[in-house]
Amino acid sequence: MRIALFATCVADAMFPGAPRATVRLLERLGHTVVFPESQACCGQMHVNTGYMDEALPVVRNHVQTFDPVLTGAWDAVVVPSGSCTGSIRHQQAMVARRAGDEDLATRAEAVSARTYELSELLVDVLGVTDVGAYFPHRVTYHPTCHSLRMLRVGDRPEALLRAVEGIDLVDLPQADGCCGFGGTFALKNAPTSSAMLDDKCDAVDSTAADVLVAGDRSCLLHIGGGLSRRGSATTTLHLAEVLASTREHPTPLSDAPRTRTRPVGGSR
Amino acid sequence: MSTFLGLPRHRSSTPEEGPLGPVPHADDPLRWGDPFPVAARRALDDAQMRRNLGHATSTIRDKRASVVGEVPDWEALRDTGSAVKGDVMARLPELLAQLEENVTARGGTVHWARDADEANAIVTRIARERAVDEIVKVKSMATQEIGLNEALAEAGIAAVETDLAELIVQLSEDMPSHILVPAIHRNREEIRRLFLARMEGAPDDLGDAPRELAEAARVHLRRKFLSARMAVSGANFGVADSGTLTVVESEGNGRMCLTLPETLVTVMGIEKVVPTFTDLEVFGQLLPRSSTGERMNPYTSLWTGVTPGDGPQDFHLILLDNGRTRALADDVGRAALHCIRCSACLNVCPVYERVGGHAYGSVYPGPIGAVLTPLLTGAGTEDAPHGDANASLPYASTLCGACFDACPVKIDIPSLLVHLRARDVDSRRERTVPTGWDGAMKAASWVMSDGARLGRAEKGTAALRVLAGRKGYVGTLPPPMSAWTASRDLPAPPRQSFRDWWADEHDGNDGDGAAEENA
Amino acid sequence: MSDARTQILGRAREALGADELDVPVPREYRVTGDLAPGSDDVVDLLVDRLVDYRATVHHATTPTVAETVAALIADARTVVVPTGLDVAWRADWVPEVLEDSREEPLDVATLDAAGAVVTAARVACADTGTILLDGEPDQGRRAITLVPDVHVCVLRADQVVHLLPEAIRMLAPHPARPITWISGPSATSDIELSRVEGVHGPRTLHVVIVR
């Protein structure tokens, strides 16, 4: 299959490991990955903060960038993020319609129908749950809110993780509770966000996992920031980085963002 | 409503001393206290309240999940409930007229009230005409919303709340913090102390077992029930095709009020009408399982006008607008009027669980309150005062979606929140100088609508990398980003963005080119 | 200024706009249960739900109703019955029997002093453990099943249906009757959301199921 990658703005700028792993993983499975370079952002931040007028050009750029999927240039678009996929699927057409651009809305809907979050693409489109990964670490998985409730990815990510060789996958207590990120909520209601984050970090710490895995780098930015602040020994990786890991090319824990417990270049 | 001079409306936000400590004081039941972020920050400091709430909401979440899980056609019931409510909104004028006609034909009297003052005046007049100076009340959100008890007190009429939790709130001079269990923020020991201090006839050796506390309330209220001449209730549903009113309750205080007094006045929001009697077969399943987590609540009363020889012979129905037609005029927001006040969304909300109901500054707290209150009061429209604290409510959510999943009538609360945020932003566009957020969002829009621009901006993150230094993370940042670093570190940005890595790897051949090559 | 009614209805029409909104209402939920009315299975389900609510369930046959009820009310000094209650159920009761009707209602103090009330029911819903009364002469005024502290409700097995829609549709031909749905004794969950049975309504609910 020919698959276009939407890296997402957060991962592109801050966490390139997630989209790089997505490329590595899909190529290993025999697919061709392309990166349309005019891509930028899905518009979610603007939409969820109420800036619909400002979201419009962002949405238009996204739809134009991925429009070729409609004419068969690619078979699908993959997004290593539940919330960006959710925004593409549930918000972009609304933004266009609100601005009176019915043509853009229709195209946005058509593009979104061919756009998949990574675990959806692997399990539903490519039909694999065992991707041949090897990751000999203790891992716990946080199902991010939008993956869980907007996309209903269900247990696809866990099914993928369970099939990873060498993994020690442990349940995260109160896993379905929000971590408190919520985009600009983390800034506008910082104390409330922090109270939620505290509880999430307690849950993560109780698992004694080496790595917290999720399908959204933005939620991991938040939880990882909290874990680092409290000097937790648990680090964060994107689902793609675990699935891309093999015996030949293992993903080292040092690929995770630096934290207070892990200095530069450090690896446990 | 008082004259408004254009200053930010900080209601009487200084908490007042009550028997259980400081309590909020409300001038306007739909707009009291500080903007949400300020009130929430204060609430987070109340460790006792957080423990009480955490315990209560986790109990009810488990109960709800178990009784909802055993209903195989739950989703079908939700679909019907949602559609019936949508149909009600579409045909509201017609259904209200039909309800009025049927109640009147069965011996009831129907009144219409545009706002709180008008509704309160009608109840007061009915009481005065009958020389009543004490009324018993069934718990009702509509009468909370209009501040009926306070209005009656001004007229020299005592209103006795008879629902246990509502009684706790009334005795502690507090405000409700939950739609179903208004005293959810209090624990048994606090309630024991309150009853000893404030409730006539509470035994000196009163313990803190819920059974003992409930018994004390039973003894206290029984004399009032048996001698009451007038009662006021709300209504869960008003059936248009039969004129039947419904009250769903547990303790029997509702039945006492609906059955024993000579005069009954029911205050019902106009959105509570349902088209047909058989629609109760849907809501009768959705509501109890979603609210108390029971298969059915102990008592549901249905009455139609006046039944000669059985129950009140003098029945009045007040149909209340108080902002509902304003909410109806918002074609997205009107879905909030579908709410059947079950409070499931509160119980599953991670924000509500931590800050409690008072932080929302309205008798409608939690996720539904964060949409309903701004819609009823016109926040984000020209009807709202400048600097309206209610404008902060739509931002009081992470949009995690737990509320939407739990809602028995499928109100898409996250989408409504986003819609109301947009309404707020758009209303400020025309009225105020741009804020820092406005500028940042405009700039971000320019950067994020073009791949090349984003690529150049990514190179600017080098500054953050300098800040991170050899540590590899950033621990403090200047405002406004200090809100982030107050409790979270920020990792150093990578040396190379993904798009730069891709360009290096593919040696200038971008994805589009590759696609053409292989096409 | 126009009156409140005119203005509210006018605002509502204006809010909805000129477009006729047609909202189709799907009804895919179950309206008939798997368990046949009056079957042993449906009665068992009802009993399970009632016990869960801390109601007390008793079984009787038509000839044993009177003695079963008599045993339940033996300690009462007075017992209230609606005038239309089956006289065969009232044989050999010990307490003084007080009849109540819409035409000749007992006063509240008498109801409050009564040891118990015995009534029939219209229909019962097994799925939710609900007994539905519609105020007909065998069930009486709403006040009589409310004020006395003990309610004995006699239910024929053939009155038990599986699902709520079945019960509601039996009541629907007479929606204007005063209707009370009862699911166990009165209860509250207002303190820490833990359920306590026995508040203002009868603290004891006996259900006698007649087969």
Residues of B in contact with C29 (CB under 8 A): 73, 76-77, 80, 282
Judged by a CB distance cut-off of 8 A, whether residue B292 touches chain C is yes
Residue A267: inside a domain: no
Residue C191: inside a domain: yes
Task: Compute φ and ψ for C210, nearest 5 degrees.
Answer: -105, 120
pLDDT of B3: 35
Q: What is the pLDDT of residues B370-427, one digit of tens each?
A: 999 999 999 988 888 878 999 999 999 999 999 999 999 999 999 999 999 999 999 9
User: Between A and B, how many residue pairs show a Cβ–Cβ distance under 8 A?
Assistant: 257
User: Between B and C, how many residue pairs show a Cβ–Cβ distance under 8 A?
Assistant: 265
Last residue of a domain, one of A100, A125, A150: A125
Cα of A96 to nearest chain B Cα, Å: 14
Across the interface, whether the CB atoms of B250 and C199 are under 8 A apart is answered: yes
Q: What is the pLDDT of residues B142-165, one digit of tens each?
A: 999 999 999 999 999 999 999 999
State the CATH number of the domain containing residue C98: 3.40.50.10420
CA–CA dist C44, B363 (Å, integer): 42
C 78-107 residues inside an 8 A Cβ radius of B: 101-103, 105
Q: What is the ipTM of this complex?
A: 0.96
Residues of B in contact with C195 (CB under 8 A): 294
Greater model confidence, B21 or C42: C42
Please choose, from the candidates B267, B237, B233, B271, the residue with its C-alpha nearest in 3D space to the C-alpha of residue B376. Answer: B271
Across the interface, whether the CB atoms of C190 and B165 are under 8 A apart is answered: yes
pLDDT of B16: 66
Residue C68: inside a domain: yes
By C-alpha distance, the chain B residue nearest A82 is B400
Judged by a CB distance cut-off of 8 A, whether residue B58 touches chain C is no
Which residues neighbour B223 within 8 Å (Cβ) at sequence distance 6 or greater? none
Strands C130-133 and C179-182: antiparallel
A 75-114 residues inside an 8 A Cβ radius of B: 90-91, 98
Residue C26: inside a domain: no
Judged by a CB distance cut-off of 8 A, whether residue A60 touches chain B is yes
Count of the separate structural domains present in chain C: 1
Across the interface, whether the CB atoms of B253 and C200 are under 8 A apart is answered: yes
State the CATH number of the domain containing residue A240: 3.40.50
pLDDT higher than 70, residue B513:
no
User: Token pair of C89, please?
Assistant: 């159920």
Cα of A159 to nearest chain B Cα, Å: 23
Cα of B363 to nearest chain C Cα, Å: 17
pLDDT of A266: 44
Judged by a CB distance cut-off of 8 A, whether residue C5 touches chain B is yes
Q: Are residues A110 and A214 in the same domain?
A: no
pLDDT higher than 50, residue B73:
yes
Q: Are residues A6 and A121 in the same domain?
A: yes
Q: Please report, in tens digits, the pLDDT of each residue of chain A (268 residues total).
A: 999 999 999 999 999 999 999 999 999 999 999 999 999 999 999 999 999 999 999 999 999 999 999 999 999 999 999 999 999 999 999 999 999 999 999 999 999 999 999 999 999 999 999 999 999 999 999 999 999 999 999 999 999 999 999 999 999 999 999 999 999 999 999 999 999 999 999 999 999 999 999 999 999 999 999 999 999 999 999 999 999 999 999 999 988 888 888 765 544 4
- Average pLDDT for B296-324: 98
Q: Are residues A35 and A92 in the same domain?
A: yes
Range of the domain at A203: 138-255
Q: Are residues A105 and A147 in the same domain?
A: no
Q: Are residues A67 and A95 in the same domain?
A: yes
Residue C9: inside a domain: no
pLDDT higher than 50, residue B324:
yes
pLDDT category at B12 given cuts 50, 70, 90 is very low
Q: What is the DSSP letter of B310?
A: B
pLDDT of A263: 65
Cα of C63 to nearest chain B Cα, Å: 30
Last residue of a domain, one of A125, A157, A187: A125
Which residues neighbour B369 within 8 Å (Cβ) at sequence distance 6 or greater? B179, B346, B357, B360, B362, B363, B393
Residue C21: inside a domain: no
By C-alpha distance, the chain B residue nearest A178 is B400
CA–CA dist A87, B398 (Å, integer): 14
Range of the domain at C39: 34-210
Greater model confidence, A242 or B428: A242
Mutate to test the interface with C, among B53, B164, B248, B250 (most CBs of C within 10 A): B250
Q: What is the pLDDT of residues C103-158, one digit of tens each?
A: 999 999 999 999 999 999 999 999 999 999 999 999 999 999 999 999 999 999 99
Which residues neighbour A191 within 8 Å (Cβ) at sequence distance 6 or greater? B37, B40, B41, B44
| Residue type, position A244, single letter | A
Last residue of a domain, one of A63, A98, A125: A125
Residue A262: inside a domain: no
Q: What is the pLDDT of residues B264-283, one digit of tens each?
A: 999 999 999 999 999 999 99
Q: Are residues A22 and A74 in the same domain?
A: yes
Judged by a CB distance cut-off of 8 A, whether residue C188 touches chain B is yes
pLDDT higher than 90, residue C61:
yes
Q: What is the DSSP letter of A254?
A: G
CA–CA dist A203, B365 (Å, integer): 27
pLDDT category at B22 given cuts 50, 70, 90 is confident
Judged by a CB distance cut-off of 8 A, whether residue B165 touches chain C is yes
Residue C25: inside a domain: no
Across the interface, whether the CB atoms of A196 and B350 are under 8 A apart is answered: yes
**Prior bond to B480 cis, omega within 30?**
yes
Residues of A in contact with B515 (CB under 8 A): 2, 4, 34, 68, 73-74
CA–CA dist B166, B177 (Å, integer): 10
Q: What is the DSSP letter of B15?
A: P
pLDDT category at B434 given cuts 50, 70, 90 is confident
Q: Are residues A29 and A107 in the same domain?
A: yes
Any chains having at least 3 CB pairs less than 8 A from chain A are B
Please choose, from the candidates A231, C102, C33, A109, the residue with its C-alpha nearest in 3D space to the C-alpha of residue B71. Answer: C33
Across the interface, whether the CB atoms of C196 and B211 are under 8 A apart is answered: yes
Q: Are residues A201 and A108 in the same domain?
A: no
The percentage of residues in chain C with a pLDDT greater than 90, rounded to a whole number, is 90
Count of the separate structural domains present in chain A: 2
Which residues neighbour B463 within 8 Å (Cβ) at sequence distance 6 or greater? none
Residue A266: inside a domain: no
Q: Longest Cα pair distance anywhere in chain C, in angstroms?
A: 69
Which residues neighbour C87 within 8 Å (Cβ) at sequence distance 6 or greater? none
By C-alpha distance, the chain B residue nearest A191 is B41
Residues of B in contact with C171 (CB under 8 A): 277
Judged by a CB distance cut-off of 8 A, whether residue A47 touches chain B is yes
- Average pLDDT for B187-212: 93
Residue C13: inside a domain: no
Residues of A in contact with B34 (CB under 8 A): none
pLDDT higher than 80, residue C62:
yes
Q: Which of B200-209, B320-329, C24-33 has the lowest mean pLDDT?
A: B200-209
The percentage of residues in chain B with a pLDDT greater than 90, rounded to a whole number, is 79
pLDDT higher than 50, residue B7:
no
Residue A264: inside a domain: no
Asked if A7 and A35 count as a contact pair (C-beta separation under 8 A), the reply is yes
Q: Are residues A49 and A120 in the same domain?
A: yes
Judged by a CB distance cut-off of 8 A, whether residue B484 touches chain A is yes
pLDDT of B460: 86
Judged by a CB distance cut-off of 8 A, whether residue B89 touches chain C is yes
Judged by a CB distance cut-off of 8 A, whether residue B106 touches chain C is yes
Greater model confidence, B15 or B94: B94
Asked if B492 and A264 count as a contact pair (C-beta separation under 8 A), the reply is no
pLDDT of C19: 72
Closest partner residue to A37 among B441, B470, B511, by Cβ?
Answer: B511
3-class SS shares of chain A: helix, strand, coil, % to 5:
50, 10, 40
Asked if C133 and C169 count as a contact pair (C-beta separation under 8 A), the reply is no
Q: Are residues A158 and A189 in the same domain?
A: yes
Q: What is the pLDDT of residues B54-69, one digit of tens each?
A: 988 999 999 999 999 9
Report the sign of the C-alpha dihedral through residues A244, A246, A248, A254, in that order: positive
User: For all residues of chain B together, what is the average pLDDT?
Assistant: 91
pLDDT category at B5 given cuts 50, 70, 90 is very low
Cα of B453 to nearest chain C Cα, Å: 44
CA–CA dist B453, B457 (Å, integer): 6
Residue A6: inside a domain: yes
Residue C115: inside a domain: yes
pLDDT higher than 90, residue B97:
yes
Q: Are residues A177 and A229 in the same domain?
A: yes
